Amino acid sequence: MIHGVIMAGGSGTRFWPRSRRKHPKQLLHFTGERSMLQETFQRLVGRIPSGNVHIITNCEQTDGVCRHLPELPSENILVEPASRNTAACIGLAAVRIEKADPDGVMVIVPSDSWVDPAENFLKVIDVACKTAAQGPEMVVIGIPPTYPATGYGYIQRGSLVSESDGVRVFDVRAFKEKPDAKTAADFINSGNYYWNSGSFIWKVSTILDALREFMPDLYAALERIRESLGTPGEVQVVAREYEQAKSISIDYGVMEFARNVKVIEATYKWDDVGTWRSVENFAKPDANGNVVEARAEMIDTQNCTIAGDPDHLIATIGVNDLIIIQTPDATLVCHKDRSQDVKKIVDLLAEHGLDGFL
């Protein structure tokens, strides 16, 4: 069987003040009425039965996940007691799925990516699952880059392995860390690199074998967790093992060393929705380039992103390239070029003990 795993434990600090500890980015909606988590879930259930979709989140966000996905069985929500990056959360999902389906295929996706159209995404997933089911193949979805981004990891492709229904599969030559601007430009010009989407497909046994080889300490912890599943001491064992686990991504812990890795070229549009500025990549701007989700009156205003409560009026005069976000208790005004620095405001609030705004 195929099992979906949605990683939904991030805090989304760059989307403050809308994103908060108990209501993070993946629970926000940027287009339409559905949150990013709901959109991700709906895409997966286009191929995977809802009973086979699992959400990994943290204690603070569990209630929010339940509200947004009331149709999901409670046992399919896996709660991490501490944040330990993607290697630990993927390992936890693997041992839980292994208990019910040792030969299952895992489709692992972030909860907060924008994808369009969903039909193309499902074609890629179909090919990825067939590739992963053939043996110890580890599959990652690569995004054709549209500009020399320095905020993404890159995947260098090797030889073409197959092509099916317009979807191409390549060997992976190497994973590259986030590059500087010149290196990113070189990657783009070569035509042989993809952005790493953070979406992975593999058999349960394949990822557990890889963790045993490349992250033996984590694998040993997962074995202890496996033995506790379904027992009265499960929660305590998971908490203890997570407390001692190393915080590292699956990319650094496994993928950079793994063999039999394939990259599938995405045939859909994608954005990781990393900052408020990225909203303009998929939302519809007005004639002046403004993306507005608010009650707003604007004079001589161009290329701004404005969001606020419907009963709160935002008025602008003679401004350009600003991000203006209003909530009942906080307002952000930021130049678009500094959208990455919103996280610094969150850090400053924590430093000043203003936890009520986090």
DSSP of 330-341: -EEEEEGGGGGG
- Bridge partner list, 326: 331
pLDDT at 29 over 90: no
> Sorting pLDDT into bands at 50, 70 and 90, what band is 9?
confident
> Sorting pLDDT into bands at 50, 70 and 90, what band is 33?
confident
Top-confidence residue, 10 or 132: 132
The CB density around residue 92, as the number of other CB atoms within 10 Å, is 26
pLDDT at 11 over 90: no
Query: In terms of residues, how long is the chain?
Result: 358
How high is the pLDDT of residue 210? 97
CA separation for the pair 192, 175 (Å, rounded): 12
Instruction: Using a pLDDT cut of 70, give the percent of the chain over it.
Output: 100
How high is the pLDDT of residue 252? 93
- Alpha helix positions (H), the chain: 36-44, 62-68, 85-100, 118-133, 181-190, 204-214, 216-228, 234-244, 250, 342-351
pLDDT at 221 over 80: yes
Q: Which amino acid is at 62?
A: T
Q: What are phi and psi of 82, to 5 degrees?
A: -155, 155
> Sorting pLDDT into bands at 50, 70 and 90, what band is 32?
confident
Q: Which amino acid is at 343?
A: K
> Sorting pLDDT into bands at 50, 70 and 90, what band is 260?
very high
